[in-house]
């Protein structure tokens, strides 16, 4: 039966509830689920694909998920100028896992960057389009300057305290960046920088180490050192202005974290033991030369190197020694953080959720 309107033209007021009706059974409006804001950073390098997802908590960014896979994106790039189909397949498969984690973690803001391999490859844009089409991730192929900026933002808070000139370096798969910086508790400024097209993958392909003789390995290592020394020559000239001062040095990359693990004789990699460690430069040199002399089978037997890094770590050693040559600090700081953390810091500032503190990243 259709309800009649009240004489006033207004609908009638509802009468009292029927006797025995349970008010608690009346339908309630759903309470919206409020999830904490979370951020994600993807760094697609020449050798690795890495993801970090973090959430603000008590003035810090707390890592809630992570992923890393060796994809060897730059394999063969030095000779062909192109990313191979096999490398593309490996990369897309890794990024599909990252995309799934972003969805499951309900990420609010994210950024995915690609570095030297995609910058140098003639089909880098083709890979980015395939990644967007198959995973939904938009890859930003960044410049070397942006790569340096993000690396510095991500790790500068681990620089040793002091007033001496400070240098941060990032040994990647396809390039190496050196950045002379001024670090304060809450800020960092880059005063001088250089990027050279030699990383652990590109240098290994340019000057492969023979495995049949110690003399051959030593000659190849010397050649690697010559190549990187020449590449850094212009920066080394400028760095000479700081000779005799108490220099500070901080590295972020798989090379320095691997050598730090060897220094500690760890049975397996432990980020908590390595991130923030300070190692004497002489010890870094000694480990570098010992690894360069070793056969690939012997390097693979070292727990923190293994088969995946055994063929590439020596190139990183050569680059590191050349850096210590031009910036002869007594100690080398080690950071297991860099581009991804730089991205997270930028996203957090955009989200304006947290004050950025000196130790804002913990896991």
Lowest average pLDDT, out of 184-188, 309-313, 322-326, goes to: 184-188
Residue 228's contacts (CB-CB under 8 Å, 6 or more residues apart) are: 176, 196, 198, 203, 318, 319, 322
Question: In which band, very low, low, confident or very high, does the pLDDT at 163 lie, cut at 50, 70 and 90?
Answer: confident
The bridge status of strand 278-280 relative to strand 248-252 is unpaired
Q: What is the pLDDT of residue 66?
A: 95
> Reduced to 3 states, what is the DSSP secondary structure of residue 127?
helix
Residues 39-142: name the CATH superfamily.
Answer: ATPase, nucleotide binding domain (3.30.420.40)
Q: State the CATH class of domain 158-339.
A: alpha beta
Query: In the structure encoding, which two tokens stand for residue 94, read together?
Result: 């890794």
Q: What is the pLDDT of residue 24?
A: 53
The bridge status of strand 188-196 relative to strand 109-114 is unpaired
How large is the average pLDDT for residues 222-249?
Answer: 96
Whole-angstrom distance, CA of residue 234 vs CA of residue 232: 6
Q: How many CB atoms neighbour CB 325 within 10 A?
A: 15
Task: Please state the pTM of the whole predicted model.
Answer: 0.84
Whole-angstrom distance, CA of residue 174 vs CA of residue 336: 18
Whole-angstrom distance, CA of residue 76 vs CA of residue 208: 12
DSSP string, 191-226: EEEEEES--HHHHHHHSPPPSS-HHHHHHHHHHHHH
Lowest average pLDDT, out of 55-69, 232-246, 322-336, 344-358, goes to: 344-358
Q: Is the pLDDT reported for residue 116 higher than 90?
A: yes
Boundaries of every domain in the chain: 39-142, 158-339
Q: Is the pLDDT reported for residue 305 higher than 70?
A: yes
Whole-angstrom distance, CA of residue 314 vs CA of residue 317: 5
The answer to whether the beta carbons of residues 97 and 224 sit under 8 Å apart is no
Domains 39-142 and 158-339 belong to one CATH topology: yes
> Reduced to 3 states, what is the DSSP secondary structure of residue 109?
strand
Q: What is the pLDDT of residue 350?
A: 82
The answer to whether the beta carbons of residues 255 and 227 sit under 8 Å apart is no
How large is the average pLDDT for residues 321-332?
Answer: 97
- Give the rounded distance of the alpha carbon of 198 from its chain centre: 17
Query: Per-residue pLDDT tens for 50-99?
Result: 999 999 888 788 999 999 999 999 999 989 999 999 999 999 999 999 99
> Reduced to 3 states, what is the DSSP secondary structure of residue 182?
strand
How large is the average pLDDT for residues 150-160?
Answer: 94
Query: In the structure encoding, which two tokens stand for residue 7, read together?
Result: 């004489």
């Amino acid at each position: 039966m259709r309800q009649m309107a009240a004489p006033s033209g207004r609908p009638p007021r509802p009468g009292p509830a029927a006797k025995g009706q349970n008010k608690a059974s009346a339908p309630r409006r759903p309470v919206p689920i409020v999830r904490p804001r979370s951020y994600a950073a993807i760094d697609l390098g020449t050798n690795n694909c890495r993801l970090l997802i973090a959430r603000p908590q008590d003035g810090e960014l707390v890592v809630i998920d992570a992923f890393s896979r060796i994809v060897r994106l730059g394999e063969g790039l030095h000779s062909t100028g192109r990313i191979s189909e096999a490398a593309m397949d490996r990369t897309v498969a890794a990024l599909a896992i990252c995309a799934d984690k972003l969805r499951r973690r309900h990420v609010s803001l994210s950024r995915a960057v690609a570095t030297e391999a995609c910058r140098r490859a003639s089909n880098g844009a083709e890979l980015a389009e395939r990644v967007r089409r198959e995973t939904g991730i938009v890859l930003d192929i960044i410049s070397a300057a942006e790569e340096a900026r993000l690396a510095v933002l991500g790790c500068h808070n681990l620089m040793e305290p002091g007033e001496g000139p400070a240098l941060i370096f990032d040994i990647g798969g396809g390039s190496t960046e050196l950045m002379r910086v001024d670090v304060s508790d809450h800020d960092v400024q880059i005063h001088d920088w250089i990027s050279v097209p030699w990383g652990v993958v590109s240098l290994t392909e340019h000057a492969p180490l023979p495995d049949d003789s110690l003399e051959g390995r030593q000659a190849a290592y010397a050649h690697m050192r010559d190549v990187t020394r020449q590449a850094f020559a212009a920066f080394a000239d400028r760095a000479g202005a700081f000779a005799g001062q108490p220099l500070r040095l901080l590295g972020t990359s798989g090379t320095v974290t691997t050598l730090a693990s060897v220094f500690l004789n760890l049975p397996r990699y432990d980020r908590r033991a390595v991130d923030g460690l300070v190692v004497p430069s002489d010890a870094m040199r000694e480990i570098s030369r010992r690894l360069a002399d070793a056969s690939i089978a012997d390097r693979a037997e070292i727990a923190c190197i293994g088969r995946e890094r055994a063929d590439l770590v020596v190139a990183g050693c050569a680059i590191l020694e050349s850096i210590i040559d031009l910036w002869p600090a007594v100690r080398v700081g080690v950071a297991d953080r860099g581009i991804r953390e730089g991205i997270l810091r930028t996203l957090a500032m955009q989200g304006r959720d947290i004050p950025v503190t000196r130790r804002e990243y913990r896991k």
